[in-house]
Amino acid sequence: MVNLASLRSVKASEEGLKRVDRARKRMGWSKTRSKTWWLQANVSQATLRRFWKQPISLDGFISICKAVGIEDWQEIVDWSALEEDGAELESKAGEEPLLPAIVGEFPEGPVPVNSDFYIDRAPIEARCYDAILRPGALIRIKSPRHMGKTSLLYRVCDRAEKQGYRVVRLNLSKIDATVLSNLDRLLRWFCACISLELKLTTQPKDMWILDRGSIVNCTTFIQEQVLEPIQQPFVLALDEVDWLFDALAASQGFFSMLRSWHEEAKTIEVWEKLRLVVVHSTEDYGRLDLNHSPFNVGLPVELPEFTAQQVEDLLKRYGLDWHQNWVQRLMATVGGHPYLVRLAIDELAWQKVTLTQLLQEAATDAGIYTDHLRRHLKKLQERPELAKAFRQVVMAPEPLQLDTMQAYKLYSMGLVKKIGDRVGPRCRLYQEYFQTRLAGGC
């Protein structure tokens, strides 16, 4: 007999799967692509995929059934398989960490400022908090995607607000393409956004004088309407500024203006109030003149991967107590990549799947990383020259040299890590997945 108290994972019988299939059709849901289903069940899409072909956690199994209206979940369990596998499962119970289903935060997007799951990467946060207090400060946060740049930006802005500073945070990825057609349109948009955030009564259009040029108009607006009326410092935080790099008609003047504002703070008192924070992923600045930009001045900040100690800290915040060997096994596959680590821990904490199962499936379409990996694959397929370069990286037995621009682009995507003047796959997960997906070339 199966001991229900010790039951950790179950699978559906063939008849049970047919019943679930009929129920999901009545709901109008697909077998694995209906987001409403996995959200209502509080499981991941990867868990829903596994449900159809292999055992999953008992909690996840029950939730998936209940989401389609099946309360008597016991009736669709393949009990015969559990009887056969019971002894084997019992013997392996001590080989994996016990994982309480503690609710964390799904690792998509920035980590909220009040979250218990943000991991400091000392001394980076302290340096940023100190820098933002300095007159005319400029902080440049640069790291590949999914490394925590925006989460850090939120904390710098929060620290400034707690000091009584005025703060405006703009995400430049939200700019309409038509705005980037010329510098004047970009600067009008820029001033309008700041005016909206600060609820100013004077609008940019009321001060825009054609004869004096866009940069002078924008600079005058910021000085007269933002800086001069206030006593406290003003923090202007610009996220995802790399969206402007290819729009040279607008971006060179814009970045040159930001650089000039930073320089003005050295000699003009009112500009000391301005504190700039710029965030970007790539080092491929296109044809920008870096000497007339903010990208080679100020405090440079680059976020590293998590250390083993930081991964252990995150595990404890989920209520998980892991042996050091389990941490090493996870990091051997995904390194200290913050997003990949958080996704794994979240899946383990929610679903109680074994670490072995998660790692065995990691580089497959059934694994928890499939959506993340497919997004990268799609981007590579859209840029054959990068796909070809990355294929060389994952196929090589050791780090190799690439064209500088290709290396920068792959690094900004988070696919490679720098090793001196060479690059290698960022983690074993990427190497294993892309070795098969790019094997035939692109």
Residue 154: both structure tokens together:
């939120």
Q: What was the pLDDT predicted at 347?
A: 85
- Domain 4-95 annotated CATH 1.10.260: yes
Q: Is the dihedral of CA 230, 235, 239, 243 positive or negative?
A: positive
What average pLDDT does the structure give for the chain?
A: 89
- 335/380 Cα distance (integer angstroms): 22
- 183/249 Cα distance (integer angstroms): 6
Chain region(s) in the chain for CATH 3.40.50.300: 124-301
Environment class of residue 191 by beta-carbon count within 10 Å: exposed (0-12), middle (13-18) or buried (19+)?
A: buried
Measured at the CA of 383, the angle between CA 336 and CA 180, to 5 degrees, comes to: 95
Is residue 4 over pLDDT 70? no
Residue type, 321: D
Is residue 313 over pLDDT 50? yes
Chain region(s) in the chain for CATH 1.10.10: 370-437
Is residue 219 over pLDDT 50? yes
Q: In which band, very low, low, confident or very high, does the pLDDT at 103 lie, cut at 50, 70 and 90?
A: low
Measure Cα distances from 110 to 63, 124, 257, 293 in Å: 27, 17, 28, 27
Per-residue pLDDT averaged across 284-306, rounded?
87
DSSP string, 332-391: HHHTT-HHHHHHHHHHHHHH---HHHHHHHTTSTTSTTHHHHHHHHHHHHH-HHHHHHHH
Is residue 82 over pLDDT 70? no
- 71/16 Cα distance (integer angstroms): 13
Q: Which of 124-128, 187-191, 246-250, 299-303 has the lowest mean pLDDT?
A: 246-250
- 297/137 Cα distance (integer angstroms): 10
Measure Cα distances from 254 to 216, 264, 434 in Å: 11, 15, 38
Is residue 375 over pLDDT 80? yes
Q: In which band, very low, low, confident or very high, does the pLDDT at 401 lie, cut at 50, 70 and 90?
A: very high
3-state secondary structure of 52: coil
Measure Cα distances from 184 to 249, 272, 401 in Å: 10, 25, 41
Q: What was the pLDDT predicted at 394?
A: 96
Per-residue pLDDT averaged across 263-279, rounded?
97
**Who's near 185: CB < 8 A, 6+ residues apart?**
178, 179, 250
Per-residue pLDDT averaged across 18-24, rounded?
94
- Domain 370-437 annotated CATH 1.10.10: yes
Is residue 95 over pLDDT 90? no
243-254: pLDDT as tens digits: 998 888 899 999
Q: Which of 6-15, 140-149, 381-390 has the lowest mean pLDDT?
A: 6-15
Q: What was the pLDDT predicted at 34?
A: 84
Q: In which band, very low, low, confident or very high, does the pLDDT at 41 lie, cut at 50, 70 and 90?
A: confident
Residue type, 17: L
**Who's near 223: CB < 8 A, 6+ residues apart?**
270, 271
Q: What was the pLDDT predicted at 104?
A: 59
Is residue 257 over pLDDT 70? yes
Higher-scoring residue by pLDDT: 103, 307:
307
Is residue 282 over pLDDT 60? yes
Chain region(s) in the chain for CATH 1.10.260: 4-95
Q: What was the pLDDT predicted at 2?
A: 46
274 forms beta bridges with: 234
Q: What was the pLDDT predicted at 42?
A: 81
**Who's near 325: CB < 8 A, 6+ residues apart?**
none
Q: What was the pLDDT predicted at 371?
A: 92
Residue type, 349: A
Q: What was the pLDDT predicted at 290?
A: 82
Q: What was the pLDDT predicted at 93?
A: 38
CATH hierarchy code of domain 124-301:
3.40.50.300
Q: What was the pLDDT predicted at 94?
A: 41
Is residue 280 over pLDDT 70? yes
Of 412, 134, 419, 118, which is closest to residue 279 (Cα–Cα)? Answer: 412
- 352/96 Cα distance (integer angstroms): 10
Residue in the structure block whose two tokens are 């940019």: 204
Q: In which band, very low, low, confident or very high, does the pLDDT at 79 lie, cut at 50, 70 and 90?
A: confident
Higher-scoring residue by pLDDT: 234, 88:
234
DSSP string, 105-162: --SSSPPPTT-S-----TTHHHHHHHHTTSTT-EEEEE--TTSSHHHHHHHHHHHHHH
Residue 280: both structure tokens together:
């970007």
48-77: pLDDT as tens digits: 888 898 888 787 888 899 999 999 888 999
Q: What was the pLDDT predicted at 383?
A: 93
Query: Which range, 53-57, 111-115, 138-142, has the best average confidence (pLDDT)?
Result: 138-142
Q: What was the pLDDT predicted at 246?
A: 84
Percentage of the chain beyond pLDDT 90 is 67
Is residue 424 over pLDDT 70? yes
Is residue 261 over pLDDT 50? yes
